[in-house]
């Protein structure tokens, strides 16, 4: 199940009785293709692929109270209790094409290779070449006169060239490479990179391989298996009618001799072709979710209206709560149309298309004693939209904040009425005093009349004073008790623990010699725990060519020199009982092979993970791998595994998850971490979700004329760079300090 994050609301959620602002739903500014789960881009057109609406069992139709609300704007400022719009970010999978075309230049002497993509983006061709006499799968940089404008060299083996739009306003991007048929280049290799998202697009888990000679071995990543001939029309849409030459049978292909290969090197005839490969890109999309609540004047119930401009089938997974704890429960009927009950814990309502044709909506009739409306959105690709990792919470009229505002409103009205009454008394007093003064000047009133006026003034003054006394706020004396503030819970992050771990290495370089180390360590579990250790690092568990375990062979065979798999399980259980977190020592960089290839090189694997030489990096100097170039440093004693291969990563992730479940490991010690890119480590840790993981990035310190340099910041920075590459999902040993101490002979 995937999730999508949601930004903060456009404005802070506010409960009010007479909001003056109206919030309008706007359609997405990106791909406006309504109710389309996948968008297919092809040359010259954008078409929608519709899916039939799923039939949903209706629990009970809603009352007419909810039906009278048709749009978000229908909630007038006079009766609305709540009104808010939330921006939503989600990922849309968009289908397109990568096309590869080889044809002759206008001069009929040279050739052009065109690589293009039908999807919008910032596309970069990461490419290189291989020559006729090359062995292995290493790339070389092409000659400078072959590089298109804007190309940038990458290390010493590749070139990156940006793809450019074919024309202004066109979504197609393309790059053209000039080819000389008389050159010694045997093939062009490339992968496509989207600089906007950082995603890499390969061909069957490997690089695209465009052969320029017709005797290359197909490793499963070769394009243009069928060659066309002739001159192509200008529009890509007409390429589907290219004439194809008859295919050479496998028997004839296998009978080609070395002499014929040499002949073709000298007299090769290039043939034009056009080939397409499907591509799926994840595009970030921006949408809106709007919610409004009003009170029904006839039934006194709350009417909640929800709408969104997401152009797909949207299901509202919802419930209500009766207190601030926000415990989900199912409210009483009626429910909106297309509502189903989910495990007696929540309701699911399919949003209905709006009359305007843009987006979908639903109305909910809710009892007035409810505190809140809780919901998340579920899309048809099993993507869930929530609010910053929590459920959406919409306060209803039964909420404390609403009651508080009612009380506040009542008190304000009482203050206003009191002020008006007091002002009237003061005006009466002023009128009487003015009348008394005028009577004194005219001396026409009797003494009794004047006394009557004064008595009336005294009564009004007394009443005004009484109102003044009743309006004064009195404060009761409060007793304060000093209590110790509760300590905040320690945050635990997957892969890095709490930050307070104390790690014990649970073996040494000679522990394997006893043959029963697991049982010996089991007897010491309580003693080690009493010393304050919280995490223990166990030796490599797999079958290994070396007795220490660091030359693994069959990863699923866990009977080693330290003990059997059953003894390992008993040890882990005993360590857990005394409070230990247990780390398994996993060697992911290299693996010893079971069999030799036709050249006598050990690079064919057996056991449950029966990989071939594609699992070995192509630049391994000893083991003739057919994989891609290594992303780290080589380990020279065993084949270095190519982690860029999708099948390798899948198998290793499955293996780590199996170790977690079968053995009970809580995390990993990652051996020889500098042998492969930290981004692959992140992939493995995301899959296995360890409590704690630490990498051994053991690199050489800096020396000058045999003396260790005082400044070792560059060494430590390489460790930090590896941690950053893992996106902070793992820690690393401080081997910089350890190396400095070793150099000064503090440890032997």
Residues in Cβ contact with 575 at an 8 Å cutoff, skipping those fewer than 6 apart: 522, 525, 536, 582
Does residue 701 carry a pLDDT above 80? yes
Contact yes or no for 302/397 (Cβ under 8 A): yes
Give the DSSP letter string of 383-438.
Answer: EEE-BTTB-EEEE-TTSHHHHHHHHHHHHHHHHHHHHHHHHHHHHHHHHHHHHHHH
Does residue 659 carry a pLDDT above 70? yes
Tens-digit pLDDT profile for residues 282-308: 888 889 999 999 888 888 899 999 999
Beta bridge pairs of residue 80: 294
Tally the C-alpha atoms within 13 A of residue 521's C-alpha that lie toward its C-beta. Answer: 29
What is d(CA 411, CA 417) in angstroms, rounded to the nearest whole number?
Answer: 10
Tens-digit pLDDT profile for residues 252-267: 444 444 444 444 444 4
Does residue 228 carry a pLDDT above 80? no
Select the CATH number that applies to the domain covering 503-589+646-743 from these four: 3.20.20.80, 1.10.150.20, 3.40.50.2300, 3.30.70.380: 3.20.20.80
Averaged pLDDT, 466-480: 53
Which among 574, 556, 557 is positioned nearest to 518, based on CA atoms?
Answer: 574
More confident residue, 332 or 450: 332
Does residue 250 carry a pLDDT above 50? no
Helix, strand or coil, per DSSP, at residue 194: strand
Burial class (CB in 10 A: 0-12, 13-18, 19+), 243: exposed
Does residue 500 carry a pLDDT above 90? no
What is d(CA 637, CA 629) in angstroms, rounded to the nearest whole number?
Answer: 18
Averaged pLDDT, 595-616: 94
* 675 φ/ψ sector (left φ>0, alpha ψ -120 to 50, else beta): alpha
Contact yes or no for 561/547 (Cβ under 8 A): yes
Beta bridge pairs of residue 684: none
What is d(CA 281, CA 679) in angstroms, rounded to the nearest whole number?
Answer: 20
Query: What is the structure's pLDDT at 697?
Result: 92
Place of tokens 């028997």: 251
Residues acting as catalytic residues: 671, 696
The whole-angstrom distance between residue 514's C-alpha and the CA centroid of its chain comes to: 47
- Positive or negative CA dihedral for 255, 259, 263, 264? positive
* Mean pLDDT value across the chain: 77
Helix, strand or coil, per DSSP, at residue 509: coil
Indicate the pLDDT class of residue 436, thresholds 50, 70 and 90: low
Helix, strand or coil, per DSSP, at residue 514: helix
**Peptide bond preceding 334: is omega within 30 degrees of 0, i.e. cis?**
yes
Helices then strands, counting H and E runs in the chain, come out as: 12, 33
Extract the tokens encoding 609: 């993970």
Q: Are strands 707-708 and 703-704 parallel, antiparallel or unpaired?
A: antiparallel
Residues in Cβ contact with 52 at an 8 Å cutoff, skipping those fewer than 6 apart: none
Indicate the pLDDT class of residue 494, thresholds 50, 70 and 90: low
Indicate the domain borders of the chain.
Answer: 2-12+24-92+282-402, 97-241+264-279, 403-470, 503-589+646-743
Contact yes or no for 542/609 (Cβ under 8 A): no
Indicate the pLDDT class of residue 405, thresholds 50, 70 and 90: very low
**CA distance readout (Å), 192 to 123, 124, 126, 362, 617:** 7, 6, 6, 43, 20
Which among 587, 589, 528 is positioned nearest to 560, based on CA atoms?
Answer: 587
Q: What are phi and psi of 144, to 5 degrees?
A: -60, -35
Does residue 557 carry a pLDDT above 80? yes
Query: What is the structure's pLDDT at 394?
Result: 93
Q: Are strands 123-131 and 111-117 parallel, antiparallel or unpaired?
A: unpaired
What is d(CA 157, CA 134) in angstroms, rounded to the nearest whole number?
Answer: 14
Averaged pLDDT, 595-603: 92
What is d(CA 649, CA 627) in angstroms, rounded to the nearest whole number?
Answer: 13
More confident residue, 5 or 639: 639
- Other CB atoms within a 10 A radius of the CB of residue 390 amount to 11
Q: What's the alpha-carbon Rg for the chain, to the nearest Å?
A: 38
Indicate the pLDDT class of residue 123, thresholds 50, 70 and 90: very high
Cα angle 727, 733, 735 (rounded to 5 degrees) comes to: 125
Extract the tokens encoding 330: 């199912």
Contact yes or no for 726/682 (Cβ under 8 A): yes
What is d(CA 356, CA 351) in angstroms, rounded to the nearest whole number?
Answer: 14
What is d(CA 179, CA 115) in angstroms, rounded to the nearest whole number?
Answer: 13
Indicate the pLDDT class of residue 51, thresholds 50, 70 and 90: very low
Which among 458, 432, 561 is positioned nearest to 507, based on CA atoms?
Answer: 561
Q: Which contacts qualify for 711-720: CB closer than 8 Å, 24 or more apart?
A: 712/736, 712/739, 712/740, 715/739, 718/674
Tens-digit pLDDT profile for residues 156-210: 778 899 999 888 777 889 999 998 878 888 889 999 988 887 788 887 777 888 8
In angstroms, how far apart are the furthest CA atoms of the chain? 146
Burial 160-174 (b: 16+ CB within 10 A, else e): bbbbbeeeeeeebbb
Question: Per the confidence metrics, is the pTM higher than 0.85?
Answer: no
H/E segment holding residue 442: helix 400-442
Query: What is the structure's pLDDT at 248?
Result: 39
* 343 φ/ψ sector (left φ>0, alpha ψ -120 to 50, else beta): left
């Amino acid at each position: 199940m995937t999730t999508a994050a949601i930004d903060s609301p456009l404005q802070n959620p506010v409960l009010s009785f007479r909001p003056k602002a109206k919030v309008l739903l706007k359609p997405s500014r990106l791909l406006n293709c309504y109710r389309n789960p996948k968008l297919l881009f092809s040359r010259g057109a954008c078409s929608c692929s519709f899916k039939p609406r799923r039939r949903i069992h209706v629990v009970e139709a809603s009352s007419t109270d909810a039906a009278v609300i048709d749009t978000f704007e229908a909630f007038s400022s006079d009766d609305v209790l709540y009104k808010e719009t939330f921006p939503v970010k989600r990922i849309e999978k968009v289908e397109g094409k990568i096309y590869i075309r080889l044809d002759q230049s206008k001069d009929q002497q040279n050739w052009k290779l065109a690589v293009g993509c039908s999807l919008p983006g910032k596309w970069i061709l990461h490419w290189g070449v291989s020559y006729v006499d090359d062995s292995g799968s290493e790339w070389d940089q092409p000659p400078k006169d072959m590089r298109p404008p804007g190309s940038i060299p990458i290390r010493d083996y590749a070139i990156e060239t940006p793809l450019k739009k074919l024309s202004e306003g066109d979504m197609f991007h393309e790059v053209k490479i000039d080819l000389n048929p008389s050159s010694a280049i045997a093939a062009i290799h490339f992968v496509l990179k989207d600089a906007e998202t950082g995603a890499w697009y390969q061909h069957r888990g490997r690089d695209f391989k465009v052969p320029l000679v017709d005797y290359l071995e197909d490793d499963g990543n070769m394009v243009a298996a069928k060659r066309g001939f002739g001159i192509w029309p200008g529009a890509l849409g007409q390429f589907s009618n290219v004439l194809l030459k008859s295919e050479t049978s496998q028997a004839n292909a296998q009978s080609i001799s070395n002499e014929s290969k040499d002949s073709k090197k000298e007299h090769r005839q290039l043939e034009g072709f056009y080939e397409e490969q499907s591509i799926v890109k994840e595009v970030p999309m921006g949408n809106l979710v709007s919610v409004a609540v009003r009170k029904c004047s006839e039934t006194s119930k709350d009417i909640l209206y929800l709408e969104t401009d997401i152009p797909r089938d949207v299901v509202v997974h919802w419930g209500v709560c009766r207190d601030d704890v926000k415990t989900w429960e199912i409210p009483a009927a009626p429910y909106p149309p297309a509502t189903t009950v989910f495990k007696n814990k929540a309701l699911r309502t399919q949003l209905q298309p709006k009359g305007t044709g843009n987006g979908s909506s639903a109305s909910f009739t809710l009892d007035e004693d409810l505190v809140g409306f809780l919901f998340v959105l579920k899309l048809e690709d099993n993507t869930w939209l929530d609010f910053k990792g929590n459920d959406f919470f919409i306060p209803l009229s039964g909420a404390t904040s609403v009651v508080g505002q009612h009380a506040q409103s009542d008190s304000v009205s009482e203050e206003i009425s009191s002020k008006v009454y007091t002002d009237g008394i003061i005006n009466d007093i002023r009128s009487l005093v003015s009348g008394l003064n005028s009577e004194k000047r005219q001396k026409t009133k009797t003494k009794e009349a004047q006394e009557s006026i004064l008595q009336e003034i005294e009564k009004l003054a007394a009443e005004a004073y009484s109102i003044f006394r009743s309006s004064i706020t009195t404060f009761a004396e409060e007793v304060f008790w000093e209590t110790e503030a509760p300590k905040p819970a320690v945050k635990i992050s997957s892969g890095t623990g709490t930050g307070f771990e104390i790690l014990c290495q649970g073996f040494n370089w000679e522990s394997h010699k006893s043959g029963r180390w697991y049982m010996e360590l089991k007897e010491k579990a309580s003693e080690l725990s009493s010393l304050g250790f919280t995490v223990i690092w166990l030796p490599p568990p797999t079958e290994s060519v070396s007795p220490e375990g660091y030359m693994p062979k069959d990863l699923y065979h866990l009977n080693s020199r330290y003990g059997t798999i059953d003894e390992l399980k008993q040890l882990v259980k005993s360590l857990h009982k005394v409070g230990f977190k247990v780390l398994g020592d996993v060697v992911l960089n290299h693996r010893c092979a079971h069999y030799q290839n036709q050249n006598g090189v050990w690079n064919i694997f057996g056991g449950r993970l029966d990989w071939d030489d594609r699992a070995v990096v192509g630049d391994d100097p000893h083991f003739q791998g057919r994989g891609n170039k290594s992303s780290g440093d080589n380990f020279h004693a065993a084949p270095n595994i190519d982690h860029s291969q999708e099948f390798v990563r899948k198998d290793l992730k499955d293996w780590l998850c199996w170790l977690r479940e079968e053995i009970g490991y809580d995390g990993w010690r990652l051996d020889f971490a500098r042998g492969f890119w930290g981004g692959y480590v992140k992939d493995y840790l995301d899959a296995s979700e360890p409590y704690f993981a630490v990498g051994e990035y053991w690199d050489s310190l800096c020396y000058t004329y045999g003396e260790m340099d005082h400044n070792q910041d560059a060494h430590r920075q390489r460790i930090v760079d590896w941690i950053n590459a893992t996106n902070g999902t793992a820690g690393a040993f401080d081997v910089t300090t350890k190396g400095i101490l070793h150099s000064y002979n503090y440890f032997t």
